Amino acid sequence: MKRSVLLSVNGERREVFIKPNSTLLEVLRDELLLTGAKEACGSGECGACTVLVDGKPVNSCITLAMEAEGKAIETIEGLSKEGKLHPLQEAFIDHHAFQCGFCTPGMIMSAKAFLKRSPEPTKEEIRNAISGNICRCTGYENAVDAILDTAVGTEK
Ligand code: FES
Ligand code: FES
């Protein structure tokens, strides 16, 4: 049976009527039409569905939406402000850090959380931070460079 759940998504309160076993990814994509987080493996292995919950990256494909009630959910759609991309998004473009882009929203969300707790990272630390975000197209190096560039003197 469906029930009402109040979610905070990108700073907005959103009420949804969902089944107890609805995943956060299903609710974001199908109910709220926020399709930035992607479903690839659907089993917590690839990171394509990564969003932030209270600032921490989670695989939304294996997180129940009800678990996120009362917590701050951030998705890639919340990063740009007043038509201006987030510095990480700009850096990914500048560094040609994606090809098909399927992994990119999840990787950027992981990077955002990481830079918040490690504002001056090494390349090795960045590689570790995005190790849960699988990319089938690139060699990761451009993404690592983009994250490193963002770390230097920009808003997180
Ligand atoms: S789709 Fe969620 S981890 Fe792969
Ligand atoms: S850019 Fe295609 S999966 Fe990463």
* C-alpha atoms less than 13 angstroms from C-alpha of 136 in its C-beta half-sphere: 7
d(CA 4, CA 27): 12
What does pTM read for this prediction?
0.95
d(CA 73, CA 89): 19
Fold that domain 87-151 belongs to in CATH: DNA polymerase; domain 1 (1.10.150)
Q: Where are the CATH 3.10.20.30 domain residues in the chain?
A: 3-78
d(CA 45, CA 73): 20
pLDDT digits (tens, 9 = 90+) for 45-96: 999 999 999 999 999 999 999 999 999 999 999 999 999 999 999 999 999 9
d(CA 59, CA 54): 13
SS3 content of the chain, % helix, strand, coil (to 5): 35, 20, 45
CATH architecture of structural domain 3-78: Roll (3.10)
CA of 133 to the centre of ligand 1 (A): 9
Q: Where are the CATH 1.10.150.120 domain residues in the chain?
A: 87-151
Nearest-atom number in ligand 1 for the CA of 47 is 3
d(CA 113, CA 125): 13
